[in-house]
């Protein structure tokens, strides 16, 4: 069946992988990438597919409900995969309201337009909301987040994503819209914006800048290669149970410091540097306020129900990521020479 899918946030990190996958795998679908091109949105991420006949781009802010409605009508949108968001925890600590606007109000705007235009027959339409494991809060040493773990967001970012998840569920209950939500663990891979841990540290290792480790470095994250997340989104979109939730993760927990040491080792090998040279760049800095100790996803449900599992090991994914950043330093330079440079200055000076 033909579909006209609106993918929001398609110029961002994960969104660009989802757009690429759908544009190339489903030539019969029309893929409309709606993105405001904030600091995190970059059309360079899609230049390999942006001439495809089934790809369209609309520069629209999801705070503008009228423009969203025009895009729905212009392209006859049948389904939404919603990724647009303010996504960086550290920025949410500095500017929580930006997260309320985009993540909560922007999501409700999209839901309202979809509700209004699809109301004749919701059964032919799906609103897929892409969310994060951070809505569940922090874990202690034991346990994993399942789909029934109570929400307990701790940062303005996760609070705004939790709220948007609740709205999506509420629209399914109240208006009988067909929705689905997935909550994924930390992603890494090509096109990752270099203010998040892995791309920031790759960039700093290349340029021999300090590697700022927050607190004691023993915080734990569960890392998933971004292309495996995109494949999971494809599966959930096509085969997921309507009005259900799927946790996505690779059972791949690392303390920050162990991950950073592995990254240093792999980068030293790639850059022909002396063993342990880059580890000398590790610098412990002041901790992030409200820093969640540990995230870890139980991905049993998506594995059993939809047959999804990661296609690459962490070592393979990390090697591909490092190779990509080394081969795409112009992409990196274009970002780090722009507005991001000011952000970096303000975050890490005097930390
Ligand atoms: P990102 O910050 O790289 O990209 C976000 C995109 O949304 C950008 O292209 C940006 O221009 C766009 N955008 C932001 N505000 C907008 C607005 N008001 N209107 C229209 N477009 C706007 O984020 P990401 O890391 O690719 O994350 C994508 C989604 O996946 C988010 O919803 C995030 O919560 C979720 N998620 C991310 C991770 C992760 O590890 N990065 C993990 C789980 C879930
Ligand atoms: P991040 O990539 O910001 O993702 P999230 O906070 O959404 O999990 O950070 C991953 C982990 O790395 C987190 O525990 C914070 C830590 N971190 C540092 O130690 N130093 C840094 O400069 C950054 C950006 C993150």
In a domain, 39, yes or no: yes
Q: Are 263 and 225 in contact (CB under 8 A)?
A: no
> Are residues 210 and 227 located together in one domain of the fold?
no
pLDDT average, residue stretch 214-239: 98
Read off the pLDDT band of 149 (50, 70, 90). Answer: very high
- Tell how many helices (H) and how many strands (E) occur in the chain: 13, 12
In a domain, 349, yes or no: no
In a domain, 177, yes or no: yes
Please write down the HEC assignment for all residues of 29-91: CEEEEEECCCCCCCHHHHCCCCCCCCEEEEECCCCCHHHHHHHHHHHCCCEEEECCCCCCHHH
Distance 197 CA to ligand 2 centre (A): 5
pLDDT average, residue stretch 127-135: 98
Distance 83 CA to ligand 1 centre (A): 5
> Are residues 145 and 51 located together in one domain of the fold?
yes
Distance 217 CA to ligand 2 centre (A): 10
Q: Which atom of ligand 1 is nearest to the CA of 62?
A: 19
Which tens digit of pLDDT belongs to each residue from 234-252?
A: 999 999 999 999 999 999 9
Pocket test for ligand 2, best of 13, 183, 187, 221 (most atoms within 8 A of CB): 221
Read off the pLDDT band of 66 (50, 70, 90). Answer: very high
> Are residues 111 and 207 located together in one domain of the fold?
no
Comparing C-alpha atoms, which of 272, 331, 347 is closest to residue 91?
Answer: 347
What are the DSSP E strand ranges found in the chain? 4-8, 30-35, 55-59, 79-82, 126-132, 179-184, 186-188, 211-214, 220-225, 244-248, 253-255, 282-285
Range of the domain at 227: 4-188+223-248
For residues 232-257, one letter each, b for 16 or more C-beta atoms within 10 angstroms of the residue's C-beta and e for the rest, the string is bbbbbbeebeeeebbbbbbbbbbebe
pLDDT average, residue stretch 195-211: 97
> Are residues 153 and 271 located together in one domain of the fold?
no
Q: Are 3 and 128 in contact (CB under 8 A)?
A: no
- Name the closest ligand to CA 33: 1
Q: Is the pTM of this model over 0.95?
A: yes
Mean pLDDT of the chain: 96
SS3 category, 189: coil
The protein residue with its alpha carbon nearest to ligand 2, atom 7, reads: 89
pLDDT beyond 90 at 117? yes
The protein residue with its alpha carbon nearest to ligand 2, atom 21, reads: 197
């Amino acid at each position: 069946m033909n579909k006209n899918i609106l993918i929001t946030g398609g110029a961002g990190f994960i969104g660009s992988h989802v757009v690429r996958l759908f544009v190339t795998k489903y030539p019969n679908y029309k893929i409309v990438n709606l993105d405001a091109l904030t600091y995190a949105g970059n059309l360079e991420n899609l230049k390999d597919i942006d001439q495809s006949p089934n790809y369209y781009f609309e520069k629209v802010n999801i705070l503008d409900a009228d423009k969203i409605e025009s895009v729905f009508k212009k392209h006859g949108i049948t389904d939404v995969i919603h990724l647009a968001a303010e996504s960086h925890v550290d920025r949410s600590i500095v500017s929580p309201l930006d997260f309320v606007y985009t993540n909560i109000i922007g999501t409700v705007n999209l839901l309202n337009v979809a509700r209004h235009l699809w109301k004749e027959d919701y059964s032919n339409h799906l609103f897929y909301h892409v969310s994060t494991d951070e809505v569940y809060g922090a874990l202690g040493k034991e346990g994993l987040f399942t789909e029934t773990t109570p929400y307990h967001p701790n940062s303005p970012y996760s609070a705004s994503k939790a709220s948007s998840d609740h709205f999506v569920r509420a629209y399914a209950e109240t208006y009988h819209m067909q929705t689905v939500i997935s909550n994924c663990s930390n992603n890494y891979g090509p096109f990752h914006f270099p203010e998040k841990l892995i791309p920031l540290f790759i960039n700093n290792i290349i340029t021999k800048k300090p590697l700022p480790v927050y607190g004691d470095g023993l915080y734990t994250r569960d890392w998933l290669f971004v292309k495996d997340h995109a494949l999971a989104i494809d599966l959930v979109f096509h085969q997921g149970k309507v009005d259900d939730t799927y946790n996505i993760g690779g059972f791949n927990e690392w303390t920050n410091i162990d991950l950073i040491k592995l990254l240093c080792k792999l980068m030293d090998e790639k850059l022909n540097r002396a063993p342990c040279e880059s580890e000398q760049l590790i610098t412990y800095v002041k901790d992030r306020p409200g820093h969640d100790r540990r995230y870890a996803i139980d991905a049993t449900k998506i594995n059993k129900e939809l047959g999804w599992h990661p296609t690459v090991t962490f070592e393979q994914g990390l090697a591909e990521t490092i190779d990509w950043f080394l081969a795409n330093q112009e992409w990196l330079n274009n970002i780090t020479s722009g507005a991001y440079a000011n952000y970096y200055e303000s975050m890490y000076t005097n930390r």
